[in-house]
Amino acid sequence: MSHDEMHTSSTEEKLVRMANQIGTFFMSKPHDEGVAGTAEHINKFWEPRMRRQFFEIVDAGGEGLLPIVMEATAKIRRPNEHMTRAQAAEADVSG
């Protein structure tokens, strides 16, 4: 990515960058701990739709993702299917 151009990142680009930033921090740890730390961080702080988009990138080959992030994907929780409209409506009524 050139920094000398006006540039607006897409959400996918941001997710790759954020995941790599997390992975980079954990690269200073012993390898296994670093992989586990990366996965735990994403599990703890990334909302399911971010993880869903993240897995779309991963499943498409994980272009741009650091090896530590790719390795961590085994421990990152895939989000459950999103609530259906009916469920949302039910929650809304009972809420």
Partner 1 sequence: MDLVREIDFGTPASTSEKQVTLTVDGKTITVPEGTSIMRASMEAGVEIPKLCATDMVDAFGSCRVCLVEIDGRGGTPASCTTPVGEGMVVHTQTDRLNAIRRGVMELYVSDHPSAWNETPGTGASEFDKVAAEIGLTENRYGTEGRNHVAPGNGSLTIDYMVRDESNPYFTYDPAQCIVCSRCVRACEEVQGTFALTIEGRGFESRVSAGMHQSFLESECVSCGACVQACPTDALREKTVLEKGLPERSVVTTCAYCGVGCSFKAEVKGDEVVRMMPYKGGKANHGHSCVKGRFAYGYATHEDRILKPMLREKITDPWREVSWEEAIAYTASEFRRIQYQYGRGAVGGITSSRCTNEETYLVQKMVRQGFLNNNVDTCARVCHSPTGYGLGQTFGTSAGTQDFDSVEHTDVVVVIGANPVSAHPVFASRLKKRLRQGAKLIVIDPRRTEMVRSPHIEAAHHLPLKPGTNVAMLTALAHVIVTEGLFNEAFIRERCDWAEFQDWASFVALPENSPETVGGYAGVNPEEIRGAARLYARGGNGAIYYGLGVTEHSQGSTAVIAIANLAMATGNIGRPGVGVNPLRGQNNVQGSCDMGSFPHELPGYRHISGDAVRDIYESLWGVKLDNEPGLRIPNMLDAAVDGSFKGIYIQGEDILQSDPDTKHVSAGLAAMECVVVHDLFLNETARYAHVFLPGSTFLEKDGTFTNAERRMNLVRKVLEPKATYADWEATQLLARAIGLDWNYTHPSEILDEIAATTPSFAGVSFAKLEEMGSVQWPCNEKAPAGTPIMHIDGFVRGKGKFIRTEYVATDEKTGPRFPLLLTTGRILSQYNVGAQTRRTHNVMWHDEDRLEIHPHDAENRGLRDGDWVRLASRAGETTLRALITERVAPGVVYTTFHHPDTQANVITTDFSDWATNCPEYKVTAVQVSPSNGPSDWQEEYEELSRKSRRIEGRLEAAE
Report the interface residues with partner 1, using CB under 8 A: 1, 3-9, 11, 14, 17-18, 21-22, 24-25, 27-29, 41, 44-50, 79, 82-83, 85, 87-89, 91-95
Q: How far is the CB of 43 from partner 1 (least distance, A)?
A: 8
Nearer to partner 1, 41 or 75 (CB): 41
Q: How far is the CB of 62 from partner 1 (least distance, A)?
A: 18
CA 60 from chain centre, in angstroms, equals: 14
Residues 6+ apart with CB under 8 A from 1: 7, 13
* Whether the Cβ atoms of residue 89 and residue 56 lie closer than 8 Å to each other: no
